[in-house]
Structure 1
Amino acid sequence: MLPIVSRATMSSAPYTRAVVSAMRKLYPEALADKSFDNTGLLLEAPFDPRRRQRNSVLLTIDLTKAVANEAIARQDSIVVAYHPIIFRGLKSLTLQDSQQQSLLRLAAAGISVYSPHTAVDCARGGLGDWLADIVTGTPTHLPSDPKQQQQQPHPSDHTSQQPQTIPKRPLYMLQHHPSQQTLQQKALSLGTKPHDRRPIVPTSMPNYSPEETGMGRIVRLHDAVPLTAIIDNIALGLGNPKGFPIAVPQGKQISDMMIRTIGICAGSGGHLFGELREPVDLLFTGEMSHHEALAAIEKGQCVIALFHSNTERGFLSGVLKGQLEGEIAEEWKRLRDEQRSTNGVEHDKDYLAALEDESIEVHVSEVDRDPYGIMIAKS
């Protein structure tokens, strides 16, 4: 008789392996910047077919305790976290460290973790191109909300007709970037303005076009547009956030600025923008240091910064979710057929039951968010 092999502790869940294979096809790990990055399968949880997870993957930017709780409660098979939760070598894994605690809890629940990070930044059609599509888009309609259009007086505004009273302490409300369920990209037709684009730092990997693949993007519009139009595009493409930092040269107003060339970097752009070999009118990123922003406006450039992960999160629901659903369908079918026809090995009934499950689910975390929000004064 053929040996009956238990798959418990020998490998990760078969669905997890299909997800990892799909991610590697979409965003090859060879494209990642290995000089600092740590991409790939960072946590491979042993598969126990007697208490197997659902055939589902949870997409997130950051793997926080809240996201780990979400994945465990949902019984996902794998978390695809854009940012690596492990960046450097670990000398121990303990419950005293909050990030290690999340990893240990996920492993105990049979949930693996994969991180693509800069492979997504570099790839053609990845995060850099998505942001370039947003800044070169055309609004299809603007939301008309009379309440939003009505200008409310600021608590400190007074006229001579107003009675002199003791000013009240203003009330403030903390606003975070819109969650996945409230992102509204449909108001923007992506990438419709005539333009040229190329990477800031082209890839040197063979078999990839350096004109289309690499870190960051430089966009050159065929016709200059007002900075206010770019701001509208970014707001519409990223869910109409309540506000974000903008820097313009001293002595200039936002309404004065015309934009033709744009440097783009998801996340933290200061270092990559240092690689620019041509002047640009606008730097669009998640964050830059105080001195980097000062240097930019001294050159006459504008800077738009949305906070680090707010330039990345919408990509999960807007692009990656749909890509993965299609790619996983093919990989899951291939893996199931391959495992069921393995010669010389008879799988136990629990493992075969896992292979019979045709379901495929891809979800985007609703608790994942940037640590920073905007405090809004309420009159």
Structure 2
Amino acid sequence: MIFTSSLLRTTRLIPSILNHTQRRTFTMATMQSPPFTQQVVKAMQTLYPESLADRTWDNVGLLQENFTSSSSPPTSPVVLLTNDLTPSVAREAISQKASVIISYHPFIFRGFKSITLADPHQRIILLLAQHNIAVYSPHTAIDAAPGGMADWLANMLSTLPNLTTTISTVTPISPSSSLPEKFANAGYGRKVQLSKPITLGEAVKLYAKGLGGLKHVMVARPKSSEQFMVRTVAVCPGSGESVLAGVKDADLIVTGEMSHHPALKLVMEGKAVLSVFHSNSERAFLREVLKPQLEEQLKEVDRVKVVVSEEDQDPFQIVDVEDLPGDMRGEMQTV
């Protein structure tokens, strides 16, 4: 009797379990990439093909995918642009109702053996997955593309009055033959020849303004009582040390960061270095170039919105020790 009752109860449960499994399988089977995410990815690949990226070390493309299903609401047509994907930027994306983040720097470089709350990057993954937000990273594809970040830095010199510029690629690459002809001159770093020399001070002020109105930059230069003049400039966003190492005839090297000994060697060779901090050499590109480009590519999407992060910033800040920020002013207590 006990056996029979248990058997009956088990028999009645089987259809319920099967129905639940079938419903779950059906839901999983209908998970698809949202149309808006596909449109954003296509737009980025049109502007900056992933084949231009240096995949020997870089990680570009759709790094975290979101999804839609028959039972889920449509995704919001909002894209958030950022240089780095930090927890504050992730929260900003949620508050902006973004469904896609374009993070210039990849926030995932290597594979994981686990995804836990112990790691800040993995916490971002979990948070974005919870809110169904995708992440795309273009990185070195933007660096290398004609009209991309390196050209943007080089073209700042073209705004100077009464001179012309000649721009060439420092490290050419060979794009896939399937790419449009406009990508034929792709490569990393640019060298700019000016038709007449300018002072180092003019170049520094030009880049400080062009990179978003920077108040402080780092300059390495030979000591001299004479005015340092610049006729040839080599530029590379981010960390341009290795890319620009082979440029022998540049008077000025412009990049985001450079380590001590390479900078010292350049100064001993009679060259100057302008270093603006890594992401400061990149961030303004998002607002000035990428935002309008994406808006044009996505103009057929109803209610589309492209937003540049207000939370994104370089981790380093120059501080005046005589006038410290408020969160650094606490006095050490004496015992």
Alignment of 1:101-180 (within 5 A): 101-138=123-160
**1:323 Cα offset (Å):** 0.1
Aligned match of 1:230: 203
Most deviating of 198-207 and 24-33: 198-207
Match of 1:99, SS state, is helix
**1:11 Cα offset (Å):** 2.0
Distance verdict in 2 for CA 1:211–1:321, change over 3 Å: same
Per-residue displacement from partner, 1:159-178 (whole Å, max 9, x unpaired)?
xxxxxxxxxxxxxxxxxxxx
Mark the structure with the bigger radius of gyration: 2
TM-score in terms of structure 2 length: 0.83
Matched, 1:77 2:99: yes
Match of 1:50, SS state, is coil
Match of 1:75, SS state, is coil
Distance verdict in 2 for CA 1:363–1:9, change over 3 Å: farther
Distance verdict in 2 for CA 1:262–1:210, change over 3 Å: farther
Is this contact kept in 1: 2:217–2:276, CA < 8 A? yes
**1:275 Cα offset (Å):** 3.3
2:189 to 209, 216, 237: 216
Provide the C-alpha distance between the structure 2 equivalents of 1:72 and 1:9, rounded to a whole number of angstroms: 25
Match of 2:196, SS state, is strand
2:297 to 313, 316, 327: 327
Aligned match of 1:188: none
2:112 to 90, 93, 97: 90
Residue correspondences, number: 294
Matched, 1:363 2:312: no
Aligned match of 1:64: 86
Aligned match of 1:310: 280
Is this contact kept in 1: 2:219–2:273, CA < 8 A? yes
Per-residue displacement from partner, 1:301-348 (whole Å, max 9, x unpaired)?
100000000000000000000000011225x4xxxxxxxxxxxxxxxx
> Match of 1:38, as an amino acid?
N
Provide the alpha-carbon RMSD of the alignment: 2.1
Is this contact kept in 1: 2:83–2:282, CA < 8 A? yes
Aligned match of 1:258: 229
Provide the C-alpha distance between the structure 2 equivalents of 1:125 and 1:193, rounded to a whole number of angstroms: 21
Distance verdict in 2 for CA 1:305–1:9, change over 3 Å: farther
> Match of 2:173, as an amino acid?
T
Aligned match of 2:260: 290
Matched residues, percent identical? 43
Distance verdict in 2 for CA 1:193–1:119, change over 3 Å: farther
Is this contact kept in 2: 1:281–1:302, CA < 8 A? yes
TM-score in terms of structure 1 length: 0.73
**1:52 Cα offset (Å):** 3.9
Provide the C-alpha distance between the structure 1 equivalents of 2:157 and 2:165, rounded to a whole number of angstroms: 11
Provide the C-alpha distance between the structure 2 equivalents of 1:199 and 1:282, rounded to a whole number of angstroms: 16
> Match of 2:192, as an amino acid?
V
Alignment of 1:270-285 (within 5 A): 270-276=241-247, 278-285=248-255
| Structure 1 unmatched runs, 5+ | 140-191, 333-357
1:17 to 38, 43, 47: 38
Provide the C-alpha distance between the structure 2 equivalents of 1:193 and 1:212, rounded to a whole number of angstroms: 24
Provide the C-alpha distance between the structure 1 equivalents of 2:319 and 2:30, rounded to a whole number of angstroms: 48
**1:378 Cα offset (Å):** 4.7
Distance verdict in 2 for CA 1:303–1:316, change over 3 Å: same
Per-residue displacement from partner, 1:95-141 (whole Å, max 9, x unpaired)?
211001101110111100000000000001000011111133227xx
Match of 1:83, SS state, is coil
Per-residue displacement from partner, 1:187-243 (whole Å, max 9, x unpaired)?
xxxxx8401111110111244578732101111111111111111211221232121
**1:46 Cα offset (Å):** 2.2
Aligned match of 1:41: 62
Aligned match of 1:200: 170
| Structure 2 unmatched runs, 5+ | 1-25, 325-335
Provide the C-alpha distance between the structure 2 equivalents of 1:312 and 1:239, rounded to a whole number of angstroms: 10
Provide the C-alpha distance between the structure 2 equivalents of 1:209 and 1:289, rounded to a whole number of angstroms: 34
Match of 2:319, SS state, is strand
Is this contact kept in 1: 2:36–2:75, CA < 8 A? no
Provide the C-alpha distance between the structure 1 equivalents of 2:183 and 2:77, rounded to a whole number of angstroms: 37
Is this contact kept in 1: 2:175–2:186, CA < 8 A? no
Is this contact kept in 1: 2:146–2:183, CA < 8 A? no
